[in-house]
Structure 1
Amino acid sequence: MQLTEASRDAVLKPLTTVVGIVERRNTLPILANVLIRKQAEAVEFIANDLEVQITTRSAFGVGDETQSTTVAARKLLDILRALPESSVVKMSLDDNRLTVQAGRSRFALQTMEAIDYPLVNPVDQWDASFSMPQKALRDLFNQVHFAMAHQDIRHYLNGLLLVLEPGKIRVVATDGHRLAHAGTALEAQSATQDVIIPRKTVHEMQRLLADDEQSMVQVDVSGSQIRFRFEHIEVISKLIEGKYPDYQRVIPTDYECHFDVGREALQAALQRAAILTTDKLRGVRIQLGDHLMRVSASNTENEEAREEIEIDYPHGPLDVAFNVTYLLDVLASLKADSVRWFIQPNTSSSVLITLAGDDEFRYVVMPMRI
């Protein structure tokens, strides 16, 4: 029984959208599959890993029948990618095998029953709902995602805190060594709620959201799930349970001294200095004084790198070291021409990095010993 017929690219696009969350190794073999559901001309591709589920909807079904099956996701993806771009792809289901045909190419793939596929069903009631441009949400995630922890035993750090306030949305990420905060105004938002979105979900949303001010994303939030709906895509994710650290206490407010430095100039200097750091010791030394920012690095082989950047700095001297990756991460995520550093001269305390034209972006990085 024929399921679909469409150009290769028309089938490839929705499949590529969902395959990103399919793990190569699964405790449940069926999770390596993609669920294909057809109802008349409507066709859905669904993938999930029991934590996050992505659904795409297209209209290239053939016939009025309702059919569903599951097939190896990455195998189907590889087949479609290998076919000529101009191909017309037909998929049909017979005797528990999915046949993919394009021109003189034909593939018969084993399937597993759709009824056995474990779906993440949305909650009955959402506590808060709002919509915003896809680009705005994507930019928020891009400004803080790098500060999320990775496989930390404090599981609540392995994600991003989303804070809803009347008329505002904030996102916060920290791994205990640095903290990134960003926010923006939000129309028609009156609920107050904090939820922790898993790291994997954040990365998938960064991949899927369009860099488009006109296209909107609808977001629904409950105590256990978050749902994103945009274009022909739906993402439902479980949330991380736990109490997120009080980010407001971490962000310093008493720094009186600040200076601006060119983002690209600082990024380039740090990248060059980082060449002489090691994987185990990623520290660079930052020295301020005489209207100069001096960046230096050394290693156990007695090699040394030195960089100087002219800045407008009339304050007391500062000599402190940081993990160079923490500084490069934030500079790579920003689009501004310059960044503003807030410091306490003559101390080895944390540094606050902000943007002159954005009151909501704040990045706190702790010093290190080298």
Structure 2
Amino acid sequence: MKFIINRELLLTPLQQIVNVIEKKQTMPILANVLFQLQNNQLTLTGTDLEVQIVAKLALDNEVEGSITIPARKLLDICRLLPSAVDIKFELSDNKLKIQSGRSRFVVSTLPADDYPNFEMSSMDCHFSIQAGQLKKALDKTTFCMANQDIRYYLNGIMLNIFNQQLKLVGSDGHRLAIYEDRIAQETGIELRIIIPRKGVLELARLLDNEEQELQVDFSRNNIRVVIGNLIFSAKLVDSKYPDFSKVFEQDFYSPIHVQKQLLKDALTRVAILSNEKFKGVEFSIDGGNLKISTNNPEHEEADEEIFIEYQGQPLSIAFNSQYILDAVANLDSELAVLTIAENSSCCFIEEPNEQEYKFIVMPMRL
């Protein structure tokens, strides 16, 4: 294998691929990136067997071949070379010679034949969506995903397709974010899948061009997203997402309207003296007044009052302050609407007009 490539052409896809490669591997070859050169095309592949990224680059004047190269060493070499230089790669006796200007490196390799195959089932569902549309949906729900929860179905995002309706749901068991949107074309698909946490984070990172059209293919076991010259693939979580519809089927107090920034600022200040572990704050609501208060084991306390619009009876309820802040930060409107269940089991946070995005947070005891 022998070829010359410009640093800028190689660096970006290499950085994207290295992101999916774990630093600690069960198989040494998984720390490598697979290079395959054939028919004027260089294909780079990186995987941890759960998530895979493939990049395809057009090249001329090359000698075909395939090999695997230590991913992080190669990235460091390319990153530290001067901008816009050409890099020459040449494989000889299982060693890869890398040369650019007066810089020369000889890197160890492992055979391409030993690189594990990423198992993919037949993709029988397809739809197209703009990158910006999918990224917004992910951004509105990703922060709610669980991290290493024993209920492994919560360690990811539920994606529900019902013809043109797209719904994404993220939850860690204490809070839940729902984002709904509409796909431009009819898909004829009715399916729920769970994309694993790592897959969600890597996919969101790749969606940097909002105008780009994405081709999304998936089955019950895998999802594949074609992003320009990149192909992202992930294995899906083999489980059923819990039914959260009952949270809507209960009685609620009158909605509370509050200026988003006012609530955000007051919460941030009061939370300074909350319990560092639980971050609990109490909401005391009476007419046009919301009192936010907290205390901690050091017997420190804080409270602040802000104006609200509320027509119901007085009530008091406590929340994790960070959960409320996360929800409010994801609202696009200047006004936040909080609706508390009469049995104090949950609180809905949404925008006054748009029904695309809902955030549900469970209360806590102080």
TM-superposed deviation, 1:298? 1.6
Q: Residue 201 of structure 2 corresponds to which residue in structure 1?
A: 203
> SS where residue 275 of structure 1 aligns?
helix
Taking a change above 3 Å as real, the CA distance of residues 288 and 211 of structure 1, as seen in their structure-2 partners, is farther
Taking a change above 3 Å as real, the CA distance of residues 110 and 61 of structure 1, as seen in their structure-2 partners, is farther
Q: Residue 83 of structure 2 corresponds to which residue in structure 1?
A: 85
Give the AA of the match of 2:352. A
Alpha-carbon contact 1:3-1:67 (below 8 Å) kept: no
Q: Residue 351 of structure 2 corresponds to which residue in structure 1?
A: 355
TM-superposed deviation, 1:222? 0.6
Which runs of structure 2 are paired with 1:174-193 in the superposition (5 Å)?
174-186=171-183, 187-193=185-191
The TM-score, its normalising length taken from structure 1, stands at 0.93
Distance 2:33 2:325 in 1: 37
Of 69-78 and 87-96, the range deviating more from structure 2: 87-96
Q: Deviations over 1:251-298 (max 9, x none)?
A: 456325112222222222222222223432211111212412222222
Distance 2:14 2:248 in 1: 42
Q: Deviations over 1:36-94 (max 9, x none)?
A: 1111431111111111111111123542x321111111111112111222422222222
Which consecutive unaligned segments of at least 5 residues does structure 1 have? none
Alpha-carbon contact 2:254-2:311 (below 8 Å) kept: no
Alpha-carbon contact 2:33-2:70 (below 8 Å) kept: yes
Q: Residue 156 of structure 1 corresponds to which residue in structure 2?
A: 153
Q: Residue 218 of structure 2 corresponds to which residue in structure 1?
A: 221
Distance 1:344 1:248 in 2: 14
Corresponding position: 1:291 with 2:326 = no
Alpha-carbon contact 1:43-1:61 (below 8 Å) kept: no
Give the AA of the match of 1:23. E
Q: Residue 309 of structure 2 corresponds to which residue in structure 1?
A: 312
Distance 1:351 1:73 in 2: 46
The TM-score, its normalising length taken from structure 2, stands at 0.94
Taking a change above 3 Å as real, the CA distance of residues 332 and 62 of structure 1, as seen in their structure-2 partners, is farther
Q: 88, 101, 111: which one pairs with 2:99?
A: 101
Distance 2:51 2:94 in 1: 27
Corresponding position: 1:132 with 2:137 = no
Give the AA of the match of 2:32. N
Taking a change above 3 Å as real, the CA distance of residues 357 and 99 of structure 1, as seen in their structure-2 partners, is farther
Q: Residue 337 of structure 1 corresponds to which residue in structure 2?
A: 334
TM-superposed deviation, 1:116? 0.8
Q: Residue 231 of structure 1 corresponds to which residue in structure 2?
A: 228
Taking a change above 3 Å as real, the CA distance of residues 93 and 246 of structure 1, as seen in their structure-2 partners, is same
Give the AA of the match of 1:363. F
Q: Residue 117 of structure 2 corresponds to which residue in structure 1?
A: 119
Alpha-carbon contact 2:43-2:55 (below 8 Å) kept: yes
Q: Residue 66 of structure 1 corresponds to which residue in structure 2?
A: 64
Which consecutive unaligned segments of at least 5 residues does structure 2 have? none
Which runs of structure 2 are paired with 1:45-64 in the superposition (5 Å)?
45-60=44-59, 62-63=61-62
Query: Equivalent pairs: percent with the same residue?
Result: 38
RMSD, matched Cα: 1.8
Q: Residue 328 of structure 1 corresponds to which residue in structure 2?
A: 325
Taking a change above 3 Å as real, the CA distance of residues 61 and 263 of structure 1, as seen in their structure-2 partners, is farther
Q: Deviations over 1:203-244 (max 9, x none)?
A: 1111111351x3111111111111111211111111111121
Q: Residue 363 of structure 2 corresponds to which residue in structure 1?
A: 367
> SS where residue 229 of structure 1 aligns?
strand
Taking a change above 3 Å as real, the CA distance of residues 264 and 9 of structure 1, as seen in their structure-2 partners, is farther
Give the AA of the match of 2:140. Q
Q: Residue 301 of structure 1 corresponds to which residue in structure 2?
A: 298
Deviation above 6 Å: which 4+ runs of structure 1? none
Distance 1:290 1:202 in 2: 42
Taking a change above 3 Å as real, the CA distance of residues 268 and 95 of structure 1, as seen in their structure-2 partners, is farther
